[in-house]
A and B are shown apart, each in its own frame.
Chain A
Amino acid sequence: MASDLQTDVLVIGAGPAGSMTAKWAAKSGAKVLMIEKRQEIGSPVRCGEGMSKDWLQDVGIKTGRWVNLEVEGARIYSPSEQVYEINEKHAGNEVGYVVERDEFDKQLAIDAANEGVEIRLKTAATGILKENGQVVGAKVKQFGTTFDVRAKVTIGADGFESQVGRWAGISTNLALRDMDTCLQYRMTNVDCDVRYCDFYLGKVAPGGYVWIFPKAEGLANVGIGVQVSQIKSMAEARSYLDAWIAHHPAYAKGKVIDMVGGGVSIAPPLKQTVVDGFMLVGDAARMIDPLTGGGIANGCIAGKICGVVAAEAVHTGDASKTVLDKYEKGWRVRLEEKLYRNWLAKEKLTTLSDATFDKIVDALRGVKLEKLNVHNILKAVHEKYPEVTKEFEAFL
C-alpha cells in the first residue's frame, strides 16, 4: 500500500496545458506534483499537428526538435476547389509549424521538470478529495495501487475527455453542435506540398473541414473533423474522410501508416473554470478555438496564468475561489473575446451551403487582407457578395 502524498499543487494531466501550469507554479515557488495516466508523455499522439507560433515566446517555450517543419502559408479550398492562399507576409503569424506533437509534449514536461516539478506516470486520478466544499486533492491510482494526494491547489488538465472538472463540480457538458469528431491518417506516398497547410471546406466535412498538414515530402497528416450534430450514422467521420481521399488522386494513391482520432470541442467559453481549491485548464476547460479547432496555444497561455495563480494561492495560504478567480479573470482577458467571437462565427459557418463557401473564397481571392480575422474576412466578402454577409451583420 503506497502512502498518501502531500504537495502544494497537484496537476492532473501532463499535456501542454498541464506542463505549462506545473512549470509556472514551480517557477513561482510552489512544490508541484504532475500526474499522467499514460506510460509516456505525448504518446499516443491525438493531434493534427498544425500549430500557430506567434504565442510561443510569450509563454516561454523555445523551439526544439519538436518543430517538424515550418510552412509558408495556408491554403483554403472552397467546395469547387477554388484556392485562397494565406501567406505569412499578410496574415501575421496565423500559420506556423507542423510539429512532432509527442516531442512537443515531452519538451514541455522537461521544462516543467527543470523547474523542480515532480512527475509520476501511470498515475490516474480516480476521484476528487473534498473537505467542507473545498477541493483538497485527488484520489489517484498508480501501478494498480490507490492512494490520496492532498494538495493546497488541484488543477484539472485532463484534456478533452476531462472527468476531473465534472467531479469538482464544474459543468463541461457539450452540446452536439459544439463538438467535432475527428479522424486522421498519416499517409505516405502522397503528393503534398510541404510549403502549405491545406484546408478543405464545405459538405466534404459538415461542420468542420478536411486538413492536410505536411510532415515531409510525400508524407502528410490527412484528417477530418465533422460536427457531431450533423452525423447521421455510425462511423461517418471515417466515411467522409475515406470519400474525400478517394476523390483526390494525389492522396488516393497514398498508404496509411498511422491513424488517430479524437473529440474537439468547438464550444463557447465555459461560464466557470474555478471552484474552491481547484482550477480547470486547457482542452478540459473547453479552451479550444471553436473556429480552427486548435487547442495548444490557448491551453499554454491559460496554463501560464493558472500556474502563477496557483503558486500565489499557496504562498498566501488561501486557495478559495476568491483568490483563484485571478486565474479566471486572467485567462478571460487574454482569450474570452476571441473564443466567443469565433464560436459565433462557427455557429454561422456550420450552416452555410457549398455555394456560399464558394462565394466567400472567391471574394477573398480578390483582396489582400492586412490581418486575417473574422471581421476582415467578412468585410472583404461584403464588398463582393453583400447578400452573403447579411446574416453576419453582427460581426461587421
Chain B
Amino acid sequence: MPSKKSLHIESSGQLCIYCGACVGICPLNCIYLDETRITFDEKICTRCEICVKACPVGAIEIG
C-alpha cells in the first residue's frame, strides 16, 4: 500500500481557533473537536485535503 501523506492539524492554539469548520466538512466524519483540541483518525483519513481548504486560518497542513 502506498504510504499516506502526513496531515497535521495545528490545534495547540497558535493557529487553530477551534471553529469546527474542518469537522463539519470532513466527508468521512473522522475529525473531532473537543473544546480546545482537534484530533483526526489516521486510519480513516484518506488525505483528501478538503479540511485544508475549509480551514479559515490555515491551521491544517498536508505534506
Q: Which residues of A contact B (CB under 8 A)?
A: 37-39, 44, 46, 124, 159-163, 166, 173-174, 176, 179, 181-183, 228, 231, 234-238, 259-263, 265
Contacts A/B (CB < 8 Å), 15 sampled: A38-B35, A161-B24, A163-B32, A179-B21, A181-B53, A228-B50, A231-B53, A231-B54, A234-B58, A235-B55, A237-B56, A262-B19, A262-B21, A262-B56, A263-B19
Look across to chain B and name the residue whose beta carbon is closest to the beta carbon of A173.
Answer: B27
Asked if B17 lies at the interface with its beta carbon under 8 angstroms from chain A, I say yes
Interfacial residues of chain B within 37-62, with CB under 8 A of chain A in the complex:
50, 52-58, 60-61
Chain B residues lying within 8 Å of A166, measured Cβ to Cβ, are 29
Cross-chain contact of A179 among B18, B25, B58, B61 (Cβ < 8 A): B25
Cross-chain contact of A235 among B20, B23, B32, B58 (Cβ < 8 A): B58
User: Provided the pairs A37-B35, A234-B58, A234-B61 are in contact, do residues A263 and B24 lie with their beta carbons within 8 angstroms?
Assistant: yes
Chain B residues lying within 8 Å of A44, measured Cβ to Cβ, are 18
Q: Are the CB atoms of A162 and B24 closer together than 8 Å?
A: yes
Cross-chain contact of B25 among A39, A259, A263 (Cβ < 8 A): A263
- State the CA gap A162–B58 with chains docked (Å): 22
Q: Are the CB atoms of A159 and B20 closer together than 8 Å?
A: yes
Cross-chain contact of B53 among A159, A161, A228, A238 (Cβ < 8 A): A228
Q: How large is the interface on B (under 10, 10 to 19, 20 to 34, 35 or more residues)?
A: 20 to 34
Chain B residues lying within 8 Å of A176, measured Cβ to Cβ, are 25, 50, 53
Asked if B7 lies at the interface with its beta carbon under 8 angstroms from chain A, I say no
Q: Which residues of B contact A (CB under 8 A)?
A: 17-21, 23-25, 27, 29, 32-35, 50, 52-58, 60-61
Chain A residues lying within 8 Å of B57, measured Cβ to Cβ, are 183, 235, 237-238, 261
Q: Are the CB atoms of B58 and A261 closer together than 8 Å?
A: no
Q: Are the CB atoms of B56 and A235 closer together than 8 Å?
A: yes
Look across to chain B and name the residue whose beta carbon is closest to the beta carbon of A182.
Answer: B56
For residue A105, give the distance in angstroms from its CB to the closest CB of chain B.
Answer: 16
For residue A176, give the distance in angstroms from its CB to the closest CB of chain B.
Answer: 7
For residue B41, give the distance in angstroms from its CB to the closest CB of chain A.
Answer: 12
- State the CA gap A202–B34 with chains docked (Å): 35
Cross-chain contact of A261 among B21, B32, B33, B50 (Cβ < 8 A): B21
- State the CA gap A179–B20 with chains docked (Å): 13
- State the CA gap A159–B18 with chains docked (Å): 14
Chain B residues lying within 8 Å of A38, measured Cβ to Cβ, are 35
Point out which of B18, B55, B60 has the most chain A C-beta atoms below 10 A from its C-beta.
Answer: B55
Look across to chain B and name the residue whose beta carbon is closest to the beta carbon of A160.
Answer: B24
Look across to chain B and name the residue whose beta carbon is closest to the beta carbon of A262.
Answer: B19
Look across to chain B and name the residue whose beta carbon is closest to the beta carbon of A230.
Answer: B53
